[in-house]
Amino acid sequence: MRALPTLLFACITALAVLATPPARAIDPVASVADMDLTRYAGHWYEIAHLPVSFQRQCAGDITAAYALRADGRIAVRNACRTHDGEQVAADGVARTVEGHPGRLQVRFVPDWLAWAPLVWADYWVIALDPDYQWAVVGDPKRKYLWILAREPSMDGALFARLKAKAEAMGYDLDPLVVAAPLR
């Protein structure tokens, strides 16, 4: 008689295990294999981003501009409109990662702190339009993600495809902030 509850428990446990779907494989975060910095440079509009502390004050009109410098680095200027209507900007610099065209490291601290290793953040272009009209930027730890475009809005179907690509790489997009209109 004692074997019956044990057998029943074993059967229920086995059914629960069999009914559990297998874990979905997550693609590793990978940067694009080829990127022309000259074509990437210029003005970008932020379409969406994962929340980050340094963008808390941004309410809209979020942009990034990249310009090639004579020393081989890239000048970075991020700007936005705050909740009280003020335009603010942060200037930084990016450097390339040897052997990885789609990987940059960026910092927004003064030059005299550039020697410190923790001031540089990974900036990986993980998806890029062949015509450089949109880009998805992230980091290997999946803490940061931006969807950028050359125009201030994006087609909704394209946006959905870019989100799906990021989700396949393991990004949690539940807290994604859509910062620009979708068409």
All structural domains of the chain with their residue ranges = 37-178
2: left (phi over 0), alpha (psi -120 to 50) or beta: alpha
E strand or H helix that includes residue 77? strand 74-82
60 contacts 179 by C-beta, under 8 angstroms: yes
**What is the residue-level pLDDT of the chain in tens, covering all 183 positions?**
554 444 334 434 333 433 444 445 677 899 999 999 999 999 999 999 999 888 888 999 999 999 999 999 999 999 999 999 999 999 999 999 999 999 999 999 888 887 887 889 999 999 999 999 999 999 999 999 999 999 999 999 999 999 999 999 999 999 999 988 899
| CATH-assigned architecture of domain 37-178 | Beta Barrel (2.40)
What residue type is assigned to position 154 of the chain? M
107 contacts 121 by C-beta, under 8 angstroms: yes
Q: Which of 75, 83, 66 minimizes the C-alpha distance to 150?
A: 66
Q: Which of 54, 51, 48, 57 minimizes the C-alpha distance to 82?
A: 57
Longest dimension (CA), the chain: 84
Length of the chain: 183
Tokens standing for 101?
A: 């065209």
pTM of the complete model: 0.83
